[in-house]
Structure 1
């Protein structure tokens, strides 16, 4: 796909005070479906409330949920009351926490996903070969969603696992998947997501970012050096189905002080490509 012409490149909007998050995306989707008589707004709001818990490491208060979703405190209270009665959340301290029953929903996806089932042995073998953490991700809304992971030691300040979400624009897997999008879809993503600096190394100029995506398309790989978090480097390649469509991204993440950029390209990238090709042949 050719680069977006300068005349059509979207202007970068002012940076919001914080990342939009899944709850914001869900609330926007709820708003977009208001005219559909078959759409259950109350169920949508309940799912939006549940999504807030993935964005906070500890208990969540009604005020936080109301702020993240835009739902009134009174409505949030009713949602939490219902979820508590059904055994999905419980009170703790000054807020609420998820209860083990929610694991049934995530476990059902893992058990039923052919991609996840095929990926884990491939990730485990790749991790054992390179002695670095490896992940498989897909685009979910505007974020990268981790669907499988094989870890050695934690290399980020936040713990990553299946179900974790990160911004797409400043991650290696995100750039691989953004580079595969049709032009109009990519333009929509860029209009919704300002290129906010996560570190002093994050690429935030639109022209530079689009040039990077063009390089990713051309080379079939993305190497991100400490743009998400200082000390973290990662390299990713697309995973293609048997029909040739990009369906996911596979990456290796490492500590910047341990492995240089040249080693990542000459030693890790060939192994990564082999694993992605092997995984692609296993997908329906």
Structure 2
């Protein structure tokens, strides 16, 4: 969503100062674990004075620390994630299905929702040990390069998907990553018809994945569930033949469970 569109949708009670503080917390990531005041201001799009006020406030509250002239997150920020984890009952509702899939097929399984142009992992379970992009709870990856993301994009209303394609700037993460917008549209339209998505070496070399939608009581796609493994050991055709029926059964069970808890469905499916 473009900045002007986002601002136009803000309610009259929108608190700009709070938004700035949260944006600063979100600006720290694996590529930017610590930053100077100027770095923070530049990444968030604030003046140095505004960034400084927010950083001082976050530091006083224990969410941000400072070593010399470089700021970094403090462990207290994990309280946000744990609050979501327990309020959404991730361990009780989502993890059993992920464990079931991993015990059946091995490899890894995840649940994600759409957050802007990215997928946001809300649950993950894995027996994999090799080095690969970390799919932990809270991890974000570009939607265009993941099976989960393509399922979630397929679940968007036409107008929202058109806006996504208009605003997104797809990044090639491997030589195989699809970044052509016309091709992405064709792929997502195919996902809508078949109700699943497969990807091979799109996010990183060696990752082959299959994802299906998790639907809410209204039939709207509120999340996506996947099963993934190593490209050298299995193909997309293997996933479709051996895992698709069970993956769909797990997604259906999750949909039924979420339908019994409207608040939980709202937490998982809000975007």
TM-score in terms of structure 1 length? 0.83
SS of structure 2 residue aligned to 1:282: helix
Q: Deviation of residue 28 (structure 1)?
A: 6.2
53, 58, 72: which is aligned to 1:97?
A: 72
How many residues align structurally? 259
Q: 1:170: which partner in 2?
A: 145
Counterpart Cα distance in 2 of 1:255 and 1:92: 40
Larger RCO (CA within 8 A; separation ≥ 6) = 1
Counterpart Cα distance in 1 of 2:257 and 2:17: 39
Please give the residue correspondences for 1:143-162 in structure 2 after superposition, counting only pairs within 5 Å: 143-154=118-129, 157-162=132-137
Distance 1:272 1:71, change over 3 A: same
Distance 1:243 1:48, change over 3 A: same
173, 184, 194: which is aligned to 1:209?
A: 184
27, 38, 48: which is aligned to 1:63?
A: 38
Distance 1:135 1:215, change over 3 A: same
Q: 2:104 matched to 1:129? A: yes
195, 214, 223: which is aligned to 1:220?
A: 195
TM-score in terms of structure 2 length? 0.87
Q: 1:48: which partner in 2?
A: 23
Q: 1:5: which partner in 2?
A: none
Q: Which runs of 5+ in 2 are unaligned?
A: 260-271
SS of structure 2 residue aligned to 1:218: helix
Q: 2:224 matched to 1:249? A: yes
Q: Which runs of 5+ in 1 are unaligned?
A: 1-24
Counterpart Cα distance in 1 of 2:35 and 2:81: 20
Deviations 1:67-126 (A, max 9, x none): 211112222122111111111111136522221222222211111115664111111111
